[in-house]
Amino acid sequence: MAQNTYQRQLVGQQSGVQVNIPYDRTERLLQETGDQTFATVGVFTRGRIDKPMLVAASKMKRYLGEPQSLRKTQTASTYLQMVEAFSRGAAAAVVMRLASDAASNQWILLSHAEESQISLVEEVPISGTWFMAVKLADCINAGVWVSFEKGKNNTEISLVVRERKTNSRGVEVGTGDVLYTVTGSTDVDATDDLNQSYFIADVAQRYYGDWLSIEVNHDAHAILPDDALFAAKQAKAVVPYTDAGVLADIQYVAAANQIGNTSLQYRYIMSDTNHVALVFALTQVAIAQNRRMYQAIDGMLSPEAAIAWKDQFEIDDQEAMYVGWLWSPLERQDPTYKNGIVLMSSVGQKVGLACARNATYNAYGMPALQQPIAGRDYQLIGTKFNQTQYPNDLELAQLAEAKINPCLYQEYHDTSGYVWADSLSGANKSGISKLESAAEIAIWFQHYFGRYAKSVLQKPMTDAIRAMEDQLQRVCEWAQASDWLVPSASLDGAAFGYVVRPNERYPDDEMDVTINLAINGVVRRIFIDTNMYSID
């Protein structure tokens, strides 16, 4: 007898009871990891170079290596800014590592040869005494410690890849942290107890994805029982990755484009470089991908020079709202302690605080985007601060006209500290879009409804219009209740409005959506009048 006296589907005119699958008709705003994630491009001592990678705050050293000295290269500053972003609340980063045309990531060849059982080759040989080749997506400048040994039978092998480690005398000890460990068969038909493939290439792919690639020589795959090489574990330090080239503009631009083409989600783009080609490429990614970018301007530059440097980037007046410019003439202790007291930008902390704000949301699922990361409530943290420049009123006015936000020492009624003294979006406009918070809210609406509209594609026109109108009304009401939107005379006292209708020219398959938002403003300027009276 069947489990139930009803069915999921009746056939034709069959008599009976059909109980349909329950359908959840509620709509909620879901928080995403991407809301607390930023993207960046930089030079690091390890990390894959073929595509962007997602790096959690706790995994920086594992995937990007150790911090480098700013005295060697200013490109090391990106690492420092990432540390600061993570310390202020960012959950993860989408990172594209820069590499020159000369970069080479070789295969590690394991062989039956009497000498050089572990060697490096550019391409996997077609034939020979080798039996397995390994490639690491981790392009580690310092190299790795590789060891392998025979398993329980003539075709099983155990491979371990470790960090390199030396003792106090500088001798390799082979006890560094394990990066990869995999045991499997060189026989392509081998299976394990669960009848899954035990072929070592499949085992590696199952556990490590495309971070570890293995090729097996099927003509010489067996690990012979009398092979002297397998009387004991074979191990050696190798350096598969090298890059002796010089970065050119084409590599910088390509790296920025990779950030734009990845499916890994992020809300912000963080840039601490002064490389013009990279900065401009990242601004175009921010505009095209509807992401907010924060760009640091070298704090060594005077206000006049900072404005001149920023003005070399020709961006559409309205599209410029996607790029916030920060000028921080501040020295402080490097948070990694790799350097001493150095001139550092504030872009990392700005992005980290924005990510932290996005992690806190109200009952509607909305963060306080109407609050820019600026002013008294958002102070820089660190030690041994020293402000190197003190712009006068005219210079501060010029910075504001150039849409550059300075990070300076400020005093308040109850505290003092180093804060972002302004919150301009970067738009060369006199209206609401000149404000950083307005740009964030507009970007949020475009991002959310751009994706929501995708969900009504291929639906009947009337159904799609009804669904879009319902969601617009719902979300806009939540936004107004969250103080993102405020009543406006321009909208006849309403805080929002929208029009959803078939396109006039192509009403059969095109739908037009117009959203009108009256976005909450931000106090940038205050004028105080004081009237005095006598006792008579």
pLDDT in tens, 461-470: 999 999 999 9
Phi/psi for 516 (5° steps) reads -110, 125
* In a domain? residue 414: yes
Residue 522's pLDDT is: 97
Residue 28's pLDDT is: 77
Where is average pLDDT lowest: 1-15, 94-108, 370-384? 1-15
- Average of per-residue pLDDT across 437-444: 97
* Same-domain check for residues 280 and 411: yes
Q: Is the pLDDT of residue 271 over 80?
A: yes
In tens, the pLDDT along 346-360 reads: 999 999 999 999 999
Q: Is the pLDDT of residue 486 over 60?
A: yes
- Average of per-residue pLDDT across 122-150: 91
**DSSP track, 47-61:** S-SSS-EEEEGGGHH
* In a domain? residue 490: no
* Same-domain check for residues 281 and 389: yes
What single letter denotes the amino acid at residue 444?
W
Per DSSP bridges, beta strands 178-185 and 118-121 are unpaired
Containing structural domain, residue 117: 104-242
More confident residue, 224 or 454: 454
* Same-domain check for residues 190 and 73: no
pLDDT category, 149, cuts 50, 70, 90?
Answer: confident
* Same-domain check for residues 264 and 411: yes
In tens, the pLDDT along 443-461 reads: 999 999 999 999 999 999 9
Structure tokens at 199: 């072929």
* Same-domain check for residues 252 and 395: yes
355 neighbors 39 (Cβ within 8 angstroms): no
- Average of per-residue pLDDT across 327-332: 97
pLDDT category, 130, cuts 50, 70, 90?
Answer: confident
Residue 228's pLDDT is: 54
The two counts, helices (H) then strands (E), for the chain are 10, 23
* Same-domain check for residues 55 and 80: yes
Other beta carbons within 10 angstroms of residue 215's beta carbon come to 15
> Mean pLDDT score of the chain, rounded to an integer?
93
Examine the fold and report which residue of 393, 424, 455 is the final residue of a domain before the chain moves on.
Answer: 424
What single letter denotes the amino acid at residue 23?
Y
290 neighbors 446 (Cβ within 8 angstroms): yes
* In a domain? residue 155: yes
- Average of per-residue pLDDT across 304-315: 97
* Same-domain check for residues 268 and 132: no
- How many CA atoms does the CB half-sphere of 359 hold within 13 Å? 14
Please report, rounded to a whole number, the percentage of residues in the chain having pLDDT higher than 70.
97
Q: Is the pLDDT of residue 231 over 90?
A: no
Q: Is the pLDDT of residue 284 over 90?
A: yes
Examine the fold and report which residue of 226, 242, 258 is the final residue of a domain before the chain moves on.
Answer: 242
pLDDT category, 73, cuts 50, 70, 90?
Answer: confident
Where is average pLDDT lowest: 158-162, 166-170, 226-230, 310-314? 226-230
Helix (H) or strand (E) holding 416: strand 416-420
* Same-domain check for residues 284 and 414: yes
- Average of per-residue pLDDT across 82-94: 97
* In a domain? residue 284: yes
Examine the fold and report which residue of 190, 218, 242 is the final residue of a domain before the chain moves on.
Answer: 242
Residue 168's pLDDT is: 81
Question: What is the total count of domains within the chain?
Answer: 2
Angle at 52 between CA 51 and CA 57, to 5 degrees: 150
